[in-house]
Structure 1
Amino acid sequence: MAIESLQFGDSIAGQLIDGDPDTPLTAATMRMLDPSGIQLDVPFMSRAASEQFVHLDQWFSGQDPPQNMVLLTAQGSASLFNVQWAGHTDPSGHQLSLGRLRARETVLGHRDGVLDAPLVIETARSRIDGLNAWARSSAISRKYDTDERGRTRKLTLELDGKTLATWSQGQAEMSITSSWTTSAAEDGYESSFTVGDNVHIESRFAGEPRPFFDHFVEQRKIASLLVFLFACPISFREHRVQDESFPARMMDGRVYDHPFVELISELSVRERSRPVPSAKAMNRPTAYLEQIGPEGLEAWNANYDAWSRFILPAAGVLGRSGAFMEDVVTSTSMSIEAAGHLLGVQEGEESTWSRNRPSTATYVYRCLHALGIDWGSCAVSIEGLARAVANNYNAVKHFDRGDLPAHEETYLISIVTRLVVQLTALQLTGKGDQLLVDYRSGSAMWDVRQRFAAYGLRVESAGAWARTN
């Protein structure tokens, strides 16, 4: 028996083991709290004469619990790593004290080996928002048998996961795979059989197992790319890990498998409480997995560190629900400014210089020129659009520029800068020439043009706004 998964609000009682054979077993309740993650509640008697609680007095009064522990429960074991003091009560009289511990990483399985050794794992498999829609792949094949009137009489499902992409990311070997799961439920009224069909991202490192943090860093790079592709928050929903130190055993102790077991990490547990994006939000990414391909993902990783000043501000605001349009303009314009520095001099940029040197408008111009988008009726020229973006950005950012710009102008500029950072991110995959064709022809710009038309505005060559109706 094993603890398969924990959800917010779940709690399990058990006995804590700290690895010292002289330490008495310690009663504790493990709770999954929203949004902080795993917490252990440990009742004890402080300053008690009984030897049973001396070690707990030391843990909590000194705020120094054992680094790693195991919780034995009726459902199975949970291995707790990087355990930290999270508070305790110190009542008077005959009341119990209550100590609180938090584990930075919790694996729902029993680890073989030395208890106080750091957690390292061979393979990490995660589920992330948008992966299913981005990959456009299913592990389920359906076959329908119908009668002469076209009515379905038989449905055959073939379940077969597959590897969709593999690529190198520094020392990490990454893959995206489709997989399937099944679950059955039955009560006194009905029974059901559910088939899960999902896509995962996996990471492993050549040579030796690595801390979960190393896996998470590499997987986060792909999550950041998905933020640009979907222009909405992308969250980690689940981590499962596989390692020889987490075996599945038979009754006689023999190992028969090394399954994937759930890992709950403080690095991402807060993301699990975010609302799941709607299917509509995941409907139209700027590019799909098969369009970017493994070579595009390798190029994204190769550019990631050098372009981090572009990636991080834009991903931060695009990945946040309910951001004000001024926040969008500020963060995306910061990214555009960084991208302009990285792109370098572009043909015709001198028209945007100020005092014989590049200005904020110049860095925007460099991005617009590199993209080569057909803005149509939105702007008379990219020089003018670059100036309009720079003017709005500076007016929003600087107190001494007077009142904030008109809200309709800021809204339209936020639409422009959001699209510019999304498409600049596509160029970092090395697939810009293929992926930007529809934007350069104007066929993919209908929505942006309609928004400008709805407000009856366009940008003139000097960056000023003009009415079109």
Structure 2
Amino acid sequence: MAMDELNFGDRLMGHLVDGVEGTPYQAAVLHLSEQHGVRVEVPYVSRDGGGQFEHVERWFRGMSVPSNLLLHTANGPVSLFGVTWAGYSENSGQNLSLGNLKPAEAVLAERDGELSDGLTVQTVRSRLDGLNDWTGLEATDEDRETDEEHRIRTITYRLRSPDELVWSQGEATMTLRADWTAAHHTDGYNRAVELSDNVVLESAFVDGPRSFHEHFAAQRKIASLLVFLYGRPISFREHRVQDERFASRLLNGKTYNHPFVELISDRTVRERLTPVPSRKELDRPLAHMTQIGADGLATWAANYDTWRRFILPSAGVLGRRGAFIEDRVVSTSMSLEAAGGLIGKCPGEEETYTPRRMKTTATYVFRCLYVLRIGWGDYIASDVGLARAIANNYNDVKHADRGDFPDSKYTYLVSSTNSMLVRLLALYLTGKGDDLLKFYRNGRELWSIQQRFGGVGVRVTDEGKWEEVSNEDNLRDS
């Protein structure tokens, strides 16, 4: 019997197997906690004269832990990979000790073959925030029949082969598909059938099984794109893996299935703790999957490594709840500097140079503005002016020798503007900029930024200065 899932607060008692012939099984408790993720507690007797716990004492006193272990529990087996030492305590009076182990990955199944082999899997399926609405993929249909008085007589749900989008991402084949499941729940009081229809992100490599880290790195590229598209945190909620070494068998030992089994990774397990976003929080991505398409996702992934210095700082701050506006300014400005360096020289940037014709921070910001060609409206006099305002605020926030922090209302506007700029640059990196940016170039989709400038009552001049505007100007601009 195998477990289907493990949740926070679950504790499983069982016996550890290290795969070494002749080694006694060791009692242990696996615990999934919000603070530590997956931990394995191992009680043992120190300085045991009978030798039963000699190998366990070596694990903890010598910090020499087997990299892979198998835990047999009454609920089913759990395979532990990338196990590391996480400390121990001893009660010298009674020789009773408790050791702690930390696995990098825990798979809720037993694997065939040598226990010491590193974990590689053929396919990883993951669930992330926002995938259902962003993709629009579904695997269920609903039909209702009514009588003459329009009362519902029957409801039919049809589960069908899932829709999917497939693209190549280096050596990986990536798939977005709607995945349905049906579960029956019955007890002495209630009877229910639960149908789930959720989109998963799937990765597989053309040359066969790869480590979970390699699968995750490929999937993280798409998760980062979603952070830019939504402008908010996007969390991994679940991973399931499939490989021919994780097999389901009949009593006679014959294999009848290679199911997807849950994998809990120390990299992502705490993302489960973030609040699930509401539909309202995910109602306006910059673009949907159908607008970007398989070729756009492939282009984004192909650009990812070259543009890491742009992507990572902004994805990090946009994906963090409660970041200070100064944090947003610094991280997004770092991204704009990196992007400007990759974009290269653009017409008109000489206006941002120093008197000695040296490039400035404003030069790199201007390059980003040049390729985006955004229509800002009357609150921003020019791209050169905006580039200077962003650069000045960024440097004032970053450098202590410039005195106190700049006025928070200006930092707020730069934070908002920068956040939009990096998100729009992410669209540019899909190769679909001409199509996806046209509404921003004519100013129709920048009302939120314009409202912020109007609310503060300022505009940016050609010199990059903040100029107050009167109520009459605000009314006329609106």
Q: TM-score range by the shorter chain?
A: over 0.9
Unaligned runs of 5+ in 1: none
Using the alignment, how far apart are the partners of 2:404 and 2:58 within structure 1?
59
Using the alignment, how far apart are the partners of 1:140 and 1:458 within structure 2?
50
Is 1:113 equivalent to 2:113 in the alignment? Answer: yes
Match of 1:65 in 2: 65
Q: Is the 8 A contact 1:36 1:269 kept in 2?
A: no
Matches within 5 A, 1:43-442: 43-94=43-94, 96-355=96-355, 356-442=357-443
Offset of residue 138 of structure 1: 1.7
Match of 1:22 in 2: 22
Using the alignment, how far apart are the partners of 1:273 and 1:203 within structure 2?
24
Partner secondary structure for residue 90 of structure 2 = coil
Using the alignment, how far apart are the partners of 1:161 and 1:463 within structure 2?
56
Offset of residue 35 of structure 1: 3.7
* Letter paired with 2:421: V
Query: What do residues 122-151 of structure 1 show as CA deviations (whole Å, max 9, x unaligned)?
Result: 001111111112112221111111122222
Offset of residue 182 of structure 1: 2.1
Q: Is the 8 A contact 2:68 2:80 kept in 1?
A: yes
Using the alignment, how far apart are the partners of 1:402 and 1:88 within structure 2?
49
Using the alignment, how far apart are the partners of 1:132 and 1:432 within structure 2?
24
Offset of residue 95 of structure 1: 5.2
Q: Is the 8 A contact 2:86 2:101 kept in 1?
A: yes
Using the alignment, how far apart are the partners of 1:53 and 1:311 within structure 2?
50
* Letter paired with 1:391: N
Identity %: 51
What TM-score, normalized by structure 1, do the two folds share?
0.98
Match of 1:5 in 2: 5
* Letter paired with 2:85: W
Q: Is the 8 A contact 1:78 1:107 kept in 2?
A: yes
Offset of residue 460 of structure 1: 1.2
Offset of residue 444 of structure 1: 0.7
Using the alignment, how far apart are the partners of 1:363 and 1:82 within structure 2?
43
Using the alignment, how far apart are the partners of 1:347 and 1:256 within structure 2?
64
What TM-score, normalized by structure 2, do the two folds share?
0.96
Query: What do residues 399-430 of structure 1 show as CA deviations (whole Å, max 9, x unaligned)?
Result: 11122111111111111100000001101000
Partner secondary structure for residue 181 of structure 1 = strand
Partner secondary structure for residue 71 of structure 1 = strand
Using the alignment, how far apart are the partners of 2:94 and 2:371 within structure 1?
73
Using the alignment, how far apart are the partners of 1:315 and 1:31 within structure 2?
31
Using the alignment, how far apart are the partners of 1:66 and 1:382 within structure 2?
59
Using the alignment, how far apart are the partners of 1:183 and 1:35 within structure 2?
31
Using the alignment, how far apart are the partners of 1:74 and 1:272 within structure 2?
25
* Aligned structure 1 segments of 4 or more residues deviating by more than 4 angstroms: none
* Letter paired with 1:34: E
Using the alignment, how far apart are the partners of 1:207 and 1:334 within structure 2?
37
Offset of residue 203 of structure 1: 0.7
Query: What do residues 230-265 of structure 1 show as CA deviations (whole Å, max 9, x unaligned)?
Result: 111111111100000000011221110000001111
Partner secondary structure for residue 270 of structure 2 = helix
Q: Is the 8 A contact 2:249 2:257 kept in 1?
A: yes
Of 226-235 and 272-281, the range deviating more from structure 2: 272-281
* Letter paired with 2:404: D
Query: What do residues 327-368 of structure 1 show as CA deviations (whole Å, max 9, x unaligned)?
Result: 101100110111111111112111111121221111111111
Of 330-339 and 459-468, the range deviating more from structure 2: 459-468
Using the alignment, how far apart are the partners of 1:97 and 1:89 within structure 2?
6
* Letter paired with 1:16: L
Partner secondary structure for residue 389 of structure 1 = helix
* Letter paired with 2:110: H
Count of residues in Structure 1 that have an aligned counterpart in Structure 2:
469
Match of 2:476 in 1: none
Offset of residue 163 of structure 1: 4.1
Using the alignment, how far apart are the partners of 1:431 and 1:370 within structure 2?
13
Using the alignment, how far apart are the partners of 1:87 and 1:344 within structure 2?
51
* Letter paired with 1:271: E
Using the alignment, how far apart are the partners of 1:277 and 1:213 within structure 2?
26
Partner secondary structure for residue 78 of structure 2 = strand
Offset of residue 62 of structure 1: 1.1
